[in-house]
Amino acid sequence: MLAGALLLSGCVSDGVGADYAAVSQRFGPPKPGHSRIVVLQEKRKGLSMAICACDVKLDGEPIGKVIVGSYAFADRPAGRHQLIASELMFPGDTTHSFATEAGRTYFFLIRSSERHDSVAGVSMVGGLVGGFVASAATANAANPGPADFFALDEAAARTTLADLQLVQ
């Protein structure tokens, strides 16, 4: 009953980093008339500043903080939806609108945006003042937020998800 309530609220977590196959098997397919939306951030190899710790919302409701090596998912009625990514201390949000069909699962890879990487890089060198200057200089970027969303096909997503943990 509790698991059903968590699923309906859009945030599912067991706190132990279950892999997607086990989670998917435990919850089964989306209920009739619904689709499943999965947002993931792949693990990075080597050192990289191109990461984000994004709070992700689906249709305005939080589904979790997606960080490197994690994923979040929610089931929603089929139709039009909007993903929103925001990050603490970052001056803007990323939005991505899409449509779903009942019974299908949609996978979205989240990566740091060009603006995010620019602001983070200048902040590393110029500190807080540099971050403010970079934020102002990139304010008219095509994507004002910290991340980009990329649709993934199911095969690529499942391969990537095998190494990821469910957000807490």
Residue-wise DSSP of 29-92: SPPTTEEEEEEEEPPPPS--S----EEEEETTEEEEEE-TTEEEEEEEESEEEEEEEE-TT-S-
The reported pLDDT for the residue numbered 145 is 77
pLDDT, position 44: 73
Amino acid making up residue 137? A
Predicted local confidence at residue 150, as pLDDT = 93
Q: What does the pLDDT average to over 19-28?
A: 78
- Measured over the CA atoms of residue 130, residue 150, residue 19 and residue 23, the dihedral's sign is positive
Domain count, the chain: 1
Q: Tell me what the pLDDT averaged over the chain comes to.
A: 77
Predicted confidence at residue 78, as pLDDT, reads: 97
116: number of Cβ within 10 Å: 27
Pairing of strands 105-112, 147-152: antiparallel
Query: Taking CA 107 as the corner, what is the angle to CA 101 and CA 108, rounded to the nearest 5 degrees?
Result: 120
Question: Is the pLDDT score of 168 beyond 80?
Answer: no
Average pLDDT on 99-103 reads 97
* Domain range for 154: 2-166
| SS3 state at 142 | coil
Q: Quick one: pLDDT at residue 24?
A: 76
Q: Tokens 């979790």 belong to which residue? A: 64
In the sheet that 165-166 helps form, which strands lie side by side, from edge to edge?
Answer: 147-152, 105-112, 34-41, 70-77, 165-166
User: pTM of the prediction?
Assistant: 0.76
Higher pLDDT, 155 or 82: 82
pLDDT at residue 147, as a whole number: 86
> What's residue 10's pLDDT?
40
Token duo for residue 150: 């990329």
